[in-house]
Copies of this chain bind each other. A is one copy, B any other.
Amino acid sequence: MNQCDPVVIEPIGIIHTPFKTLDNMPIQPRGAQGVRGTLEIFPPFEEGLKDVELFSHIYLLYHFHRASRKALKVVPFMDTVERGVFATRSPLRPSFIGLSGVKLVERKGPVLTIENVDILDGTPLLDIKPYVPQFDTMCSDASSGWIDADKEKVAAKRSDRRFI
């Protein structure tokens, strides 16, 4: 296929969480410590879950299905000035793909219970990838760009309707 061709992705399941609206939702897993949700994997994909329960943490790729417009510059929740969307985790990105790392609590057949969930209820799930410390731990002195907030500030921050 041509490298510029659009990529078509079929959801593999639905993410269920306590967050029914965007108001007051945590903006990152750090702000959702202990909040549980479930992943309901569609039957055609259940076989792909084999052994996923051996991992304690997983990445979720999902569709920001409530974002109705794209923006190349945004004012992030954690900031007061405009940034390029690729310097933020804003939902208004061209791909509309979200990435969150969550704790995997248990698997029962096609249902995974997850913890530290910062995702809207009903969000389409596109992929699950195991978090592998040997692959995924980046440099411990990585710089946080414009984000000077400490973990407590991130944890306390809540969503609003700016990114719908």
User: Which residues of A does B touch, CB under 8 Å?
Assistant: 1, 3-12, 14, 28-30, 42, 45, 47-52, 54-57, 59, 61, 63, 65, 72-73, 82-89, 93-97, 99, 101, 103, 122, 124, 126-140, 142-147, 149-151, 154
Contact = CB atoms under 8 A, between A and B. Distances in A.
Given A48-B93, A55-B87, A86-B127, 7 more contacts: A6-B10, A7-B8, A48-B85, A61-B95, A95-B126, A130-B145, A136-B138
Number of identical protomers: 2
A55 B145 contact: yes
Contacts of A99: 59, 61, 99, 129
Return the 9 tightest CB-CB contacts between A and B, nearest first.
Answer: A50-B84, A54-B145, A55-B145, A48-B72, A95-B127, A51-B87, A56-B143, A86-B128, A47-B72
Given A7-B124, A14-B3, A127-B94, A139 B50 contact: no
Contact of A97 (B9, B93, B124): B9
Given A97-B61, A146-B51, A131 B126 contact: no
A146 to B, nearest CB: 6
